[in-house]
Amino acid sequence: MHKNESFELNRAAFLAGTVAAMGAGLTDRALAASPAGNAPAGPLPSPERLLGQLMAGNKRFVDNDFPDQSRVAVKRELLADSQAPFAAILGCADSRVIPNLIFVQGLGDLFVVRVAGNCPDDLVIASLEYTVEHLGTRLVMVLGHQNCGAVKAVYSAVKDGTKLPPHLSTIQNLIAPGINSVVKAGGSIMDAIEANVRAAMKDLRTDSPTLANAEKSGRIMITGGVYLLASGAVKLIE
């Protein structure tokens, strides 16, 4: 690893921990104690630990435990010149699935790409590659959700052998391959939603050597989740 790269990753880890602690109230004493504006000492948080941080935020959301926002101006200033989001979320454009809200994360914490059906095309992949390579992000989550209109529409089209109109057909082309077998087997919409998340994770690894290599080296983790609309919980997908 080049020295600069190492520095950037350390810096990213520092900002991730400190900013999360400040904004979301997630306690991480080692990171929060680092002096603002300096590169941190100590080991980088692992992707596994960052996933724990993200899921702890989701537990807070489920529990209606929201942080005090009185220090948001401090955080805003701290982030004015740079960003180091600790996680990237590829989520659906659905109005009910707002990553920063459901994971109780604030300014600068999450690099979010949202598109109907949370399916990765070239623009989505380019965005995720940017945050992993240039902002030091170490966790990438594909986030599907219960009752997803995009997956439901594609499920019906595949089942009926029809084609969605332009430009919805673009979404169909991206989602259909991953849920075909579920539709053929008469699986549920939730089965298709989970299959769509798994297919997107696979596509990220297959279509992006950058992300695949970063994961192989242990620098990042690609994971998946399904958001449950009524409870607010995110269920992790293997």
Q: How far is the CB of 154 from Zn ion (least distance, A)?
A: 11
Of residues 135-154, those binding Zn ion (CB under 5 A): 148, 150
Contact characters 92-111, Zn ion, x per CB under 5 A = x-x-----------------
Comparing CB distances to Zn ion, the nearer of 94 and 215 is 94
Report the DSSP beta bridge partners of residue 145: 227
Asked if residues 29 and 62 have their Cβ atoms less than 8 Å apart, the reply is no
Residue 128 CB neighbour total at 10 angstroms: 25
Q: How far is the CB of 4 from Zn ion (least distance, A)?
A: 39
Please list the helix, strand and coil fractions of the chain in percent, rounded to the nearest 5, in that order.
Answer: 50, 10, 35
Contact characters 210-229, Zn ion, x per CB under 5 A = --------------------
Comparing CB distances to Zn ion, the nearer of 169 and 210 is 169
Cis, bond preceding 167 (omega within 30 deg of 0): yes
Asked if residues 183 and 158 have their Cβ atoms less than 8 Å apart, the reply is yes
Asked if residues 143 and 224 have their Cβ atoms less than 8 Å apart, the reply is yes
Asked if residues 98 and 106 have their Cβ atoms less than 8 Å apart, the reply is no
Comparing CB distances to Zn ion, the nearer of 87 and 150 is 150
Q: How far is the CB of 227 from Zn ion (least distance, A)?
A: 9
Comparing CB distances to Zn ion, the nearer of 78 and 157 is 157
Collapse the DSSP code of 120 into the 3-class scheme (helix H, G, I; strand E, B; otherwise coil) and give the result.
coil
Comparing CB distances to Zn ion, the nearer of 92 and 204 is 92
Q: How far is the CB of 58 from Zn ion (least distance, A)?
A: 18
Q: How far is the CB of 117 from Zn ion (least distance, A)?
A: 6
* CA-atom Rg of the chain in angstroms: 18
Binding site for Zn ion (CB under 5 A): 92, 94, 148, 150
